[in-house]
Amino acid sequence: MGFDTIIVAFFVIGTVLVVAGTLTMGTNTLVESSYHGYVSAHQTMMDRLQTRIEIRNIVFNVSTNHTSFTVANTGETKLSNFDLWDILLVKDGQVSYLNESQYSVTPDIDILNPEILDPHESINIELLIDLDSNDSFIVKIITENGIVSSAEHEAGV
């Protein structure tokens, strides 16, 4: 009877150690993933705080009925992935989401990195949508990290 008790005790102690080790490894994984999630969220927040864009120089071309404007990076974050930007046009109370075939992006001031909108650089965006003279509209740009800039303009003025 004594030897059976010792074997059961070793079995119970071994089971407790395996469960404790499993919980410790699971807790370690949970803490690591939580930390990496916090670091990622913090980096995203810092990028958002340091990102600023400004829409400037809206020009309506009466011969093509297209509008072009400059987007300047006035923040401290490099911006790229222009295909991830959202461009919205609000005209006559209707919001239009523009796809990539309805606008073109060309660098205006591209000093450092090609195809990246570094701080103090700008790009030109031409809306390839026909607008009528005296149309009043709002253009809104949303970057890939969620920073928004908008400007109102009356075509032909």
CATH 3.40.50.970, domain 52-155, yes or no: no
Would you write out the chain's pLDDT as a tens digit for each of its 157 residues?
A: 577 788 888 888 888 888 888 888 878 888 888 888 888 888 878 877 888 899 998 888 888 888 899 999 998 888 888 888 999 999 888 898 999 889 988 888 777 888 888 888 999 999 988 888 788 899 999 998 888 999 998 876 6
Q: Are 75 and 119 in contact (CB under 8 A)?
A: yes
Domain edges within the chain: 1-50, 52-155
Ramachandran assignment for 146, one of left (phi > 0), alpha (psi -120 to 50 degrees), beta (any other): left
Question: Residues with Cβ < 8 Å from 59, sequence gap 6 or more?
Answer: 67, 68, 69
